[in-house]
Amino acid sequence: MSHDSAHAIPIETTTGLDSRKLAIWAFIGSECLFFASLISTYLVYKGKSLVGPFPHEAWTSPTGQEFEPILQIPLVTTGTALLLFSSFFVVMALAGAQRGDRRALLGWLGATIFCGVFFVGMQVYEFYHFVHEGLGYTTNLFGSTFYTLTGFHGTHVTIGLIWLLTIWILGLRGKLPPDKSLNLEIAALYWHFVDVVWIVIFPVVYLMR
Partner 1 sequence: MATTAVEQPHPHSGAHARATGVWSWITTVDHKRIGILYGVTAFFFFLLGGLEALLMRWQLGAPDNTFVSPDVYNQLFTMHGTTMIFLGVMPLSAMFFNFMIPLQIGARDVAFPRLNAFSYWVFLVGGLLLNSSFLLNAAPNAGWFGYANLTSKQFSPGLNVDFWVIGLQILGVASLAAAVNFFVTIVNLRCHGMRMMRMPMFVWMSLITQVLLLLAFPVITVALILLMVDRFFGTSFFIPAGGGDPVLWQHLFWIFGHPEVYILILPAFGIISEILPVFSRKPLFGYAAMVFSGALIAFLGFGVWSHHMFATGMGPVADTVFGLATMLIAIPTGVKIFNWIGTVWGGSLRLKTPMYFALGFIAMFIIGGLSGIMHSVPPADLQQTDTYFVVAHFHYVLFGGSVLALLGGAYYWFPKMFGRVLGEGLGKLHFWLTFIGMNLTFFPMHFLGLNGMPRRVYTYPEGLGFELWNRIETAGSLVLGASFLVFIYNIIRSRHHIAPADPWEGGTLEWSIPSPPQEFNFPALPTVYSRDPLWEQRRTHGAAPEPTRVSGQGIHLPNPSFWPIVTALGIAVFFVGFLLGVNLWVILAGGGITALGIFSWAFEPAG
Partner 2 sequence: MNEQAATAHEKPHPGTAVYIKIALTLFLLTALEVGAYEVARSGAPAGLAAVVGPLIVEILLLLSAVKFALVAMFYMHLKQDSKIFSSVFVFPIIIAAIILFALLALFWYLGIQHP
Residue closer to partner 1 (CB basis): 115 or 161: 161
The answer to whether residue 14 forms part of the interface with partner 2 (CB under 8 A) is: no
189 binds partner 2 (CB under 8 A): yes
Q: How far is CA 1 from CA 34, 116, 169, 184, 185, in A?
A: 20, 18, 14, 10, 11
Q: Is 80 in the site for partner 2 (CB under 8 A)?
A: yes
Kindly state whether residue 10 participates in binding partner 2, applying the rule CB under 8 A.
Answer: yes
Cis peptide before 62 (omega within 30 of 0): no
Judged by CB under 8 A, the residue of 2, 67, 72, 95 near partner 2 is 95
Any alpha helices (H) in the chain, and if so which ranges?
19-44, 73-98, 102-132, 141-172, 182-201
> Bridge partners of 67?
59
Smallest distance from the beta carbon of 52 to partner 1, in angstroms?
12
Sorted by sequence, the CB contacts under 8 Å of residue 200 that are 6+ apart come out as 35, 39
Report d(CA 99, CA 179) in Å as an integer.
Answer: 10
- Terminal Cα distance for the chain, rounded: 39
208 belongs to the binding site for partner 1 (CB under 8 A): no
Cβ 64 to partner 2 shortest distance, Å: 26
Q: Label residue 148 exposed, middle or buried (CB < 10 Å: 0-12, 13-18, 19+).
A: middle
117-156 footprint of partner 2 as x/- string (CB under 8 A): ----------------------------------------
Interface residue with partner 1 among 27, 58, 68, 121 (CB under 8 A) is: 27
Q: Which residues bind partner 2 (CB under 8 A)?
A: 6-7, 10-11, 13, 15-22, 25-26, 28-30, 32-33, 35-37, 39-40, 43-44, 56, 73, 77, 80-81, 84-85, 87-88, 90-92, 95, 98, 178-179, 181-182, 185, 189, 192-193, 195-196, 199-200, 202-204, 206-209
